[in-house]
Amino acid sequence: MELLHSLANVFIQTVIDVVPIATIIFGFQLLVIRKPIPHLKTVLFGFFYVLIGLTFFLEGLELALFPMGKLMAAQLTDPAFIFEGLASIPDVIRWQDYMWVYIFAAAIGFSTTIAEPSLIAVAIKAEEVSAGAISVWGLRIAVAIGVSVGIALGTFRIITGTPLHYYILAGYVVVIIQTFYAPKLIIALAYDSGGVTTSTVTVPLVAALGLGLASTVPGRSALLDGFGLIAFASLFPIMSVMAYAQLTEWRQHERQKQATEETK
């Protein structure tokens, strides 16, 4: 009964959130474009599916993903786990002692990004528009590697307590430099790749991991240190996608150079 009550509340809130979007779309179609909505019945069914899907998704976040993210953070930072097998637990825990946290963060970042529906959609469109020059799996893996590295570095920041802006400023300096040297074809897509990673699958787990870490690591504040992982997940894919394009361009150049030498 409690679950049904919770689902009803989430459904009502979802309707409140979705209605303005539907109003804008239908309003522009009917009042500005002044044309009837094609396949209206299908569109209405689609909006209903969106409402139902979001309701179950948001409820699932609260019941599973957020608790599991916090639980994993708590277990991986537990001194009893970190120093398992030792006769006594040291008084001071160093950042090097949290290696399993970094590995878990990298793994969860990679796996959630690979499964991200928005990234899959963008990768498919990119392959279509580029006539195969950008492969679906190449882009997905490049973005996933960026998110993986970014989240691992973000957990390192939480554990060490270093200021967030140092990493973000340094990261964007690298992005700006890469922008001058990356193939023009990939630049806009690389910047967009940073946005598609912060979507339905990645954000809940990453946010839960960050808050869980900040709550369990001694001397950290959930409010001050728990947030910021999403920024890493958005920034580093830009670097990795441009690096992927630069590497691909370099390999093509080397192949052409080798082919030219062979024909001489």
pLDDT in tens, 223-248: 778 888 888 989 999 999 999 888 88
- Name the pLDDT band for 172 (thresholds 50, 70, 90): very high
**What pLDDT sits at residue 224?**
79
- In a domain, residue 51? The reply is yes
Same domain, 228 and 151: yes
Same domain, 120 and 155: yes
* Percent of the residues in the chain that have a pLDDT greater than 70, as a whole number: 95
Scanning the structure block, which residue is given the tokens 């001489």? 264
Mean pLDDT of 158-178: 92
Same domain, 243 and 188: yes
Predicted model pTM: 0.80
Same domain, 87 and 13: no
Distance in angstroms (rounded) separating the CA atoms of residues 135 and 130: 9
> Average model confidence (pLDDT) for the chain?
84
- In a domain, residue 5? The reply is yes
Same domain, 17 and 112: no
Same domain, 106 and 167: yes
**What pLDDT sits at residue 89?**
55
- The string over 3-28, giving b where at least 16 C-beta atoms fall within 10 Å of a residue's C-beta and e elsewhere, is eeeeeeebbeebeeeeeeeeeeeeee
**What pLDDT sits at residue 8?**
86
Same domain, 26 and 88: no
Distance in angstroms (rounded) separating the CA atoms of residues 105 and 202: 11
Same domain, 38 and 107: no
| pLDDT tens profile 89-114 | 566 667 788 888 899 999 988 988 88
Distance in angstroms (rounded) separating the CA atoms of residues 15 and 41: 18
**What pLDDT sits at residue 248?**
82
Same domain, 251 and 129: yes
Distances (CA, A) of 214 to 69, 158, 236: 12, 6, 21
- In a domain, residue 48? The reply is yes
Please tell me the total count of domains within the chain: 2
Residue 2: domain span? 1-62
Same domain, 160 and 222: yes
Same domain, 47 and 176: no
| pLDDT tens profile 124-153 | 888 888 777 788 888 899 999 999 999 999
